[in-house]
Structure formats: C-alpha cells, structure tokens
Structure 1
Amino acid sequence: MSIHPELQNENKLLVKDVIEMMLALPQLSPVNYFHVNKDNITSDTVLNSTSHVDAGIVPIENSENVMVSATIVMERLLRISPQASTELALAQLIRKIYSFGAVVSAFDITVTNVSMSSPYHMEMVDAIKEGCKRISRKYNLPMSHQKILFTCDPSTINQMPSLVLHGLGVLKTEAHFVTSSFKTKGNNIYLLGKSLEDVQGSLFQKYVMNETWDSLMKFDLDLEIKLKDVLEGLVSDNLIETANPLHRGGLFFSLLRAGYDSGYGFDITTDMSVSPEAFLFGEYLGRVIVSVSPEKDDDFIDYMTSAGQSFFALGHVTKGEIRIDDESYGYIDKDYSNVES
C-alpha cells in the first residue's frame, strides 16, 4: 500500500491530514453545496420525529404506513465489473432503506448514456440485467417496471454508462422510523459487521493513494442479507436509536454525517486487527453504524450474540468533540481541519 510520504510519520498514517485532504472532496462534504431551505423540502413536516435524512418520506393516505424511498447513483465502478457493481449498488440501496426501519418493497434501475450501436455497451447492459436478476432472487424483491430503463443522449454518447437505482420501502408506523443523525449524548456506538483489510474502490484509494480503481471493494451478498435480517430485528425490538450504513468515505465520514446535523460528536476506538486506513476509510460493504441508549445496551448485546452477528464497540456519542483513539480532532460544529490535535 503506497501512501503519500507527507501523510505518514515513521510509517504511521497521519489520520488528521488524511481527513483534511478528503474533506476537500465534494463527494464527502458534510453539507451539500447546493443545500436549499430544508424546511420546504425535507420530511420534517411529515414525521415530526425525523431529522435531516437522505431518504424520501411520504405518508400513505388513510393508512398508518409511510413510504420510504432512496436513490443511489453508481458511476465510478461500473466499468470494472458491471454485474458485480450492480449487485453491490443494489445491496447498498436495500441496506439504506432497511437502516431507516422500513421494509423494501421494490426497486427500479435506469442505465444512462447507453449507445444501442455499441457492442460494449450492450454487453454491459446484459451484465447489469443479470445482476438485477440475482438480487431479485436473493432478496425476493421485484423490479417495479419488470425491466431496465435506458437513456441515450447523442451529445453524451462517448460517456460511460451510469446506474441510477431507486428503491421503495414501507414503514409500518412513525414509531418504527430510525433516524440517521445521532440523538443523545452518551449513547453507545456500535459497528455491525466485520472489519476487513480493504480500501479497494474507495475514495481514499483514488485520492490519497493516487491509485486507479481496478477492483471492487469486498462484498458478500449472503452477509448483506444476514445483516438486513439483524437490522429488522433490532428495529422491531426497538433496540437502536440511529442507524447509518457505511458508504462513501468509509466509517469516519459516516460518523461525521451522523453527527453533523444534530451537532453531536463521537469518541471512538479503532479496531487494531486492521490498519487505520482500512478501518476508517475503507468502503467495503456489510457494515452499519448504530447507536444504542445505555438503558438498552445489555438487551442489544444479548440480541446480537443470539443472532450470531459480528459487531464491534466503537465508543459513544459526545456533546460535540471528535476523538479517535484518545486523540482530539476538534469539534463537529467547527472547521476542525485547523484545530490542533
């Protein structure tokens, strides 16, 4: 693993400097640059208990049920393996909806920039179709249109195709809604899933290691399905307060997003069985961050043990400070890139 010398000190990763570098990436900005008046567009007017979330929340008329929708765009890894990338992206989409406490009902998929005259593009579409079929079988989920939709604009014909995935789920009641933002100082933070030595396909690999993406991050569909079942049980038994599936930027930036809107920070300890870069910035699947109130901690641990699900005690929610392995990285509501550790 080759990391820029300026980001190392005696072969030790300078996490603070890596964070500063990655914060400059628009994909990882905690606040969307185009963020508009959220009072007019988010679900706060629909569910009073919700905070800012990245899933759409829509009430179903004359019913206690609520519809949840989420969207994922896959453009960066599609050329490596179209079928595997499709399965990976759909698993992320499904995990995202389940993390809000909803049960996924269906998904649909659009492939953009498809040239019908390009054999390469058509082979890619066939592979994407096989990925959709496998996910449908494994999760027992239908495609809402029973087919893949295409777009083709002559002005973008030389661009690589991209996937736009959309999923729909149903939330039984508002009480079952699980927010993504931390709620309470002192709640314990757990990582569901195993830590792996893997930074493949991550933003860390491309922008910090300056390596070309040539393989996908590690992904086990059977483990994803098991994690989905565990999340369903945690939500049903009301054992977790928040849930965040790991995605772009890895664990650190998922924690940052969980705390940014609420103003809470986090104090965590890294898993020494893997390198800091893999643990904090790897984007491999099969992991979800949850927070648990201290009163329910014993019940949570008992449930996880009986379910046979791997989990790791990360730390706890703080009033605003960000700490990793007993080192301070500033505060969530400040530009902590300039704060001395």
Structure 2
Amino acid sequence: MESNESLPTLETAKKLGLLPEEYDRIQEILGRKPNFTELSIFSVMWSEHCSYKNSIVWLKTLPKDSPRMLAKAGEENAGLVDLGDGLGCAFKIESHNHPSALEPYQGAATGVGGINRDIFTMGARPIAQLNSLRFGNIELAKTKWLVKGVVKGIGDYGNAFGIPTVGGEVFFDDCYSTNPLVNAFSAGILQVGKQASAISYGVGNPVFIVGSATGKDGIGGASFASEDITEKSSEKLPAVQVGDPFQEKLLLEATLEIIEAGCVIGIQDMGAAGIICSTSEMSAKGEHGMIIDLSKVPTRQLNMKPFEILLSESQERMLIVVQKGREEEAKKIFDKWDLNCEQIGVVTDTKRLEFYQDGKLVADVPADDLVLGGGAPIYHREYREPAYYQEFKKFKIDSVPDLAPGEISKAFDFLMNHPNIASKKWVAEQYDSSIGRANRNTNAPSDAAVVKVHGSNKSIVITVDCNSRYVNADPEEGCAIAVAEAARNIVCSGGVPVAITNCLNFGNPYVPEVYWQFVGAIKGMRKACLAFETPVTGGNVSFYNQSSDEGPVFPTPTIGMLGILEEASKKMTLDFKEEGDLIYLVGESVNDIASSEYLYSYKGVKASPAPHFNLETEQNIQGAIASLIQQTLIQSAHDLSDGGLLVALAESSFPRKKGFSINCDTNIRQDAFLFGEAQSRVLVSVSPAKQADFESTLKNQGIVFSALGNVTGSDFVVDGQVISSQSKASESFHTALEKALN
C-alpha cells in the first residue's frame, strides 16, 4: 500500500467532492485512513452520477412491475421488456449534459456511444436511436455553436456506427444557455433467454477488459457530472471522453458473438467511472470479489497512475467475466474483430476489490460499500415550494387580450417561424434515419417513431417527450403530462404503450426549491405510469444542471416510452390524405392558454400554471383513439401539443401539401381554441363514407368530439378567412430553424 506520508486529508476529500461525514464513513468502512487511490474510488462511486444518493429514496416509489418486465428495473445495463413471440426489447435513455456543455461534438458523440453499449451489453442488437436536446437562446453565438456541435456529434457517431436515428425533440429556452441538455435513447432487440447480465461470480473465473485501450480522457467524469457548471468548468476538459464509432461497431459484433457463444458469466459497459464502476457493481451484485492487476490494462499513455486507470472513462470498453477454461475461446473472438482482450484479474469469494500495480497493492476496498443499494450513502434532502409556484397560479386568462380581428395570421406566422415549433428538418437531415431498412416513418410520418422488428410482424413504437415549461410551472402535473403525451404519441401511431425509461435533468439537489421540483416530478410520473400501466425500467438522474449566473435549468424529466405495434397494417400516420375528408377534434376545447408557446413567446407572459389536464379524461381519449384505429375509422391522427390546434392542422397538411378549412368554437376565446395547449385532444381526419360509424363509436363511448371542417386542396382557412397559403406556411415551417442557426 501507499505509505502513510502520502495519505490524503479531509481537505483532499472535499476537493474530490466528498462531504466531511462521508470521509468519516470511509474511514469506518476501511478501519483506517484511505490512500489517495481509495479516496478517489469512493469519490466517484459515491458521486450522485453513480450512487443516486440524493434521488434513490424517491426513485424507489416509481412503479417497476409488469408481466412484461424481463429484468429488474435499474439493475442491468438497460431495461428489458417482453415483446412476445420470444423477442425482447432492451431500451434506455441517458444524459451527457456536462460534457456537451464544454465540448459539444465529443460530448454528444460519446453519449450516443455509451447508450448503445448499454443496449448491446444486454445481448441486444441496437435498431433505433432517439435524442432529446435543449439549448439556450438561439440568437446567441454560443448557442449556435453548441447546437451545431451536438447535432454533428450525434450524426457522425450514430451514422458511422450504423444505427438509424428515427426521431427526437429539440427545444430552446434561455434557462439552457449555459447548461444544454443532451439526452440519448437507444433500443435493441434480442431473443428472450439469451440476454446477458451485469454480474460476477464463480471463484477463479477470469476477468477481461476488452475493446479500446485506456487513456486519460474522461477521468473524473462522474464527479464532474455531479457539480454545477462554472467558469472554471472548462479546466475539466479531460473529463470529456473521446469516441470512436468504428471501434464501437467492432465491439458490438464481438460482444454479441461472445454472448451467443455462451461463455460469458457477466458483462458490463465501462461508462461513468470506468473500471472501478464495472468491477464494483458486478462484484456486489454477484456477492463476490475480484483481484485486479492494473499493470495488465492496455493503456494509451505511459506511466498512468492507479487512480487514472481506475477512473478513466475512455470509450468503447467492456468488463467481461468469462467461464474458467474458456479464456482462449474469448480471446479468439476478440482477435477476430481486432480488439484488445486482456485478462486483468480473477473472481474471488472475499467480496473485496484488491487492485495491484507493478506487484504492489494500491487499493483494497469492499465492493458492496461502493454501490447503490450497498454502503453508498442515501440522503433525504430538504425540499421547499418555491415562491414562483403560487405566483404562476395567480395567472388569469382575462389579463391577456384575445386575438384582435385579423390577428390570427400574425400569431400563426410567428409560431411557424419559432424554433420550438418549426420543423427540425435541419437536424434530422444530418442523421441517417433509414439504415437498417426498419424505419416505417420515412415516407409516412407518425406522432411516434415506428420501427420494424426484422423476422417478425411486430414493430416497436418509441418516443421521447417532455415539455419542461409545463414541469417548471407545476412539476407534478407537468411530469404527468410528459408521460401522458408520450403514451398519446404511441397510441396515435397505432401502438400500445408498455414501459418507460427516464432521464431526470434537474438543478442542484442541495437547493430545497430544486429538490421540491424533483419530488413533484416523481409524484407526477408515478401516478401517470400507474394509470397507463407503463412501469419504469430504469434510466438516469442528472442533477447539477445549473450555473452560478443563470440558476437551474427548467426541471426536465424526459420520458422515453416504448410501445408495441402488432401489425404494420394498423400503423396510423398524422398526414391528411384526401381532399374532402372531414376534420374532427377528439377531446374537449378548453378556455386555457396557460404555459402555451403562444402565451410564453408571442404574448411574452412567462408566469402561468401548467395547461389544463385530467388524467382520467386522457385515458378515455387514448382508449377511444385506439379503438378508432383498430376499426379503421380514421384516415389520420395527430395529438395536440406545442402550438395547439392550428399548428397541428398545419403539420397534418404539410406532408401531402393539403389545405384545410375550419370554423372556431365560439364558446371559448379564439386564442385558446387555436393556440391553447390544453391536454387530451387529438386531431383526426375521417373519410365521409365512415362519418356515421366514426361519430356513433365516439358517442357510444361517451367521448366529447367536434366537427371542425374539411381537408382542402391548398390554403389554410379559418372562419372563412385565408390565414396563410400552404406554400408560405410550409416555407416558414421547414426553413426557420436553419435560418436562425445560419
């Protein structure tokens, strides 16, 4: 062990992000003072990013059970759900926010690499990716630099790796100017019974590190992700990893081959905290230990110190425990793919991790005390309702004048050109969305991405959703809305929602008002997931998304939802089909403009509550839409969300260059009818031949609906007045984002 002279002090522990009481607890666990390597180990494993110490008490309240669940929530590299017919889907969403704030290209690229490794270490072949991106004021040069870097990083890595990016969301608000959010989602398919586990057991079984060599990039990344962004954050650029998608493609094939060979006991991606995370989590789960020789780890730099090797987050690496006696078989597979495959240790029955370098014992720590659910600290943080919450509730719609005569065109044109509403075509065109021949949305857009499962009639239906403005206004209602919208998008695409993963992006958990937002969001997620029977399979908590200048970002609990479409023939699209088709609104129009893009951006009113939402109504509307699709009574379905009814009408018109003519509901304000974002509403089009069956079906179910008008050949007409030509609105909608960025 390192000599007593070099033992670190409490001050060193604080610099590594540990609290004084945590430093005391480490000494209790070890029965002595830790050396620097050991203290570094505890600092990363007890960071929020790895231990969830400030969030786990609330995460445990989320529903996690379903007959479809094939892996315990949060206990494997990714969630795993039974699709039926012997197929399973592994899926997960994770953040790469802090690295992307400093180095957007590599930060975003390695986020894509990391989430895909989580999928294929389960034994699943990734088939689709999504992403959810948040940036600051689009007029700022820094924001434009961040957007371009992040989008290029995602595109370059995903395209080269060969997995299609099939959808996502991009949102702009001043609160994200310093701290953008980059959340990456991936889904993959495996045969049930052939999944791999992140576990280690069996005394004497060899431990291998495979894939890329270990370098100094990413050291301390987990700790870096567990602190606020400051002016000095740029000094921590080594905490940002560097990715190689071609190496990852080789690692994918080698990993799936070795899992298929049946010689793997356990396997884990080396993401946050690198070797120390994989060795400790796998050992703790299997109630075993390991002896590891760090001298045998392939490194990119000479003379790397023990803590550097242990904490490095270099990309494209795995830790694999192989059955004893099958070492040569494992090496042969990785040699075939021209990848490192070095035995660095063996499994023991001590439940301890003993790390050696050059024959010297450099760290000796108990595995269980490092990990979530073991000895890692768990905190019940103080929370307090922020003053703004009650202020937002005081908003009265009458304080804002309704649209003036002739103002519809102006407001509509404003929204068509707003970066939160306008098409994200400029982003999407940088991603390969068709590789793998599985994307069913290429020429037929739906509210959610529909991806064919090869060798089956089934498709997975996937989406990422969260309106963080709603969550900021009311965390509980706003997060419930995020779950509901995700489910609504899947139902409107013809699918059945089955499970979620989440990426919980919040500010500093030690700020009581921030933690109150977190607690509220969890409560909202819980009630909505119970209502839709969509258990939480796992996910990611990302705290400390705030800066000293701007404070925290909007609370952003991004929901990644998985649905199943049993038959491709039942897929529903959002585009209007035929001139003369009838346009209906399923759901009730409400006199509400709260938290809408119209109120926030066009009217400039920032303080208002979350939009109108009733969970039971939402369930009924989704059930009605599902039955209409099953009975083939509608031509299109598009949920009303950001921008409200008029934006949804335009989005349904654009794909086939149609127009519409509708009349407003005179019982409510015109702006609420056209631009309000009250929930639980779906825009549908119906063939005149099916009008009677359509209406009787909804009446029999007690569902509120209203006839709006007709699909037409060209212009957009409201109450007999042309508010825009098809071509003008389309030009604005499809080019606004690119113009704003360039």
Q: Does TM, normalized by the shorter one, top 0.5?
A: yes
- For 1:231-263, what per-residue CA distance to the aligned partner results, in whole angstroms no more than 9, with x for missing partners? 111011111111011001100001111111221
- Checking the alignment, whether the CA contact within 8 Å between 1:30 and 1:256 is kept in structure 2 is no
Which of 683, 690, 693 aligns to 1:289? It is: 683
In 2, the alpha carbon distance for the partners of 1:225 and 1:171 equals: 19
| Deviation, structure 1 residue 70 | 0.6
The answer as to 2:514 corresponding to 1:121 is yes
Cross-structure match for 1:188: 582
- Checking the alignment, whether the CA contact within 8 Å between 1:77 and 1:201 is kept in structure 2 is yes
Cross-structure match for 2:720: 326
Cross-structure match for 1:300: 694
Residue 552 of structure 2 aligns to a residue whose secondary structure is coil
The answer as to 2:535 corresponding to 1:171 is no
In 1, the alpha carbon distance for the partners of 2:655 and 2:728 equals: 12
The answer as to 2:545 corresponding to 1:151 is no
The answer as to 2:433 corresponding to 1:41 is yes
Bigger mean CA offset, 209-218 vs 93-102: 209-218
In 1, the alpha carbon distance for the partners of 2:517 and 2:689 equals: 50
Residue 93 of structure 1 aligns to a residue whose secondary structure is helix
| Deviation, structure 1 residue 49 | 8.7
| Deviation, structure 1 residue 211 | 1.5
- Checking the alignment, whether the CA contact within 8 Å between 1:4 and 1:209 is kept in structure 2 is no
Cross-structure match for 2:420: 27
| Deviation, structure 1 residue 55 | 2.1
| Deviation, structure 1 residue 214 | 2.5
Kindly name which structure, 1 or 2, has the bigger radius of gyration based on alpha carbons. 2
In 2, the alpha carbon distance for the partners of 1:60 and 1:22 equals: 37
User: CA distance change for structure 1 residues 247 and 237 in 2, over 3 Å: closer, same or farther?
Assistant: same
Which of 424, 436, 449 aligns to 1:56? It is: 449
The answer as to 2:663 corresponding to 1:269 is yes
Bigger mean CA offset, 239-248 vs 325-334: 325-334
Cross-structure match for 1:197: 591
In 1, the alpha carbon distance for the partners of 2:442 and 2:426 equals: 25
AA paired with 2:433?
A: I
In 2, the alpha carbon distance for the partners of 1:69 and 1:30 equals: 19
> For the aligned residues, what is the CA RMSD?
2.5
Cross-structure match for 1:89: 482
Residue 106 of structure 1 aligns to a residue whose secondary structure is strand
In 1, the alpha carbon distance for the partners of 2:442 and 2:427 equals: 25
Residue 84 of structure 1 aligns to a residue whose secondary structure is helix
Residue 677 of structure 2 aligns to a residue whose secondary structure is coil
Residue 28 of structure 1 aligns to a residue whose secondary structure is coil
In 2, the alpha carbon distance for the partners of 1:154 and 1:144 equals: 23
| Deviation, structure 1 residue 54 | 4.7
Bigger mean CA offset, 51-60 vs 236-245: 51-60
Higher RCO structure (Cα 8 Å, ≥6 apart): 1
| Deviation, structure 1 residue 81 | 1.9
The answer as to 2:535 corresponding to 1:142 is yes
- For 1:80-120, what per-residue CA distance to the aligned partner results, in whole angstroms no more than 9, with x for missing partners? 22111111111111111101110001112211244243333
AA paired with 2:412?
A: I
AA paired with 2:702?
A: G
AA paired with 1:177?
A: K
The answer as to 2:617 corresponding to 1:226 is no
Residue 144 of structure 1 aligns to a residue whose secondary structure is strand
- For 1:250-281, what per-residue CA distance to the aligned partner results, in whole angstroms no more than 9, with x for missing partners? 00001111111221111111111111101000
| Deviation, structure 1 residue 132 | 1.7
Displaced runs of 4+ in structure 1, greater than 4 A?
2-5, 42-45, 153-157, 335-338
In 1, the alpha carbon distance for the partners of 2:591 and 2:546 equals: 41
Gaps in structure 1 of 5+ consecutive residues: none
* TM-score, reference length from structure 2: 0.42
- Checking the alignment, whether the CA contact within 8 Å between 2:507 and 2:545 is kept in structure 1 is no
In 1, the alpha carbon distance for the partners of 2:527 and 2:416 equals: 36
Which of 499, 503, 506 aligns to 1:110? It is: 503
Residue 333 of structure 1 aligns to a residue whose secondary structure is helix
AA paired with 1:150?
A: V
Gaps in structure 2 of 5+ consecutive residues: 1-397, 733-742
Bigger mean CA offset, 14-23 vs 275-284: 14-23
* TM-score, reference length from structure 1: 0.89
Cross-structure match for 2:330: none
- Checking the alignment, whether the CA contact within 8 Å between 2:440 and 2:451 is kept in structure 1 is no
In 2, the alpha carbon distance for the partners of 1:118 and 1:336 equals: 44
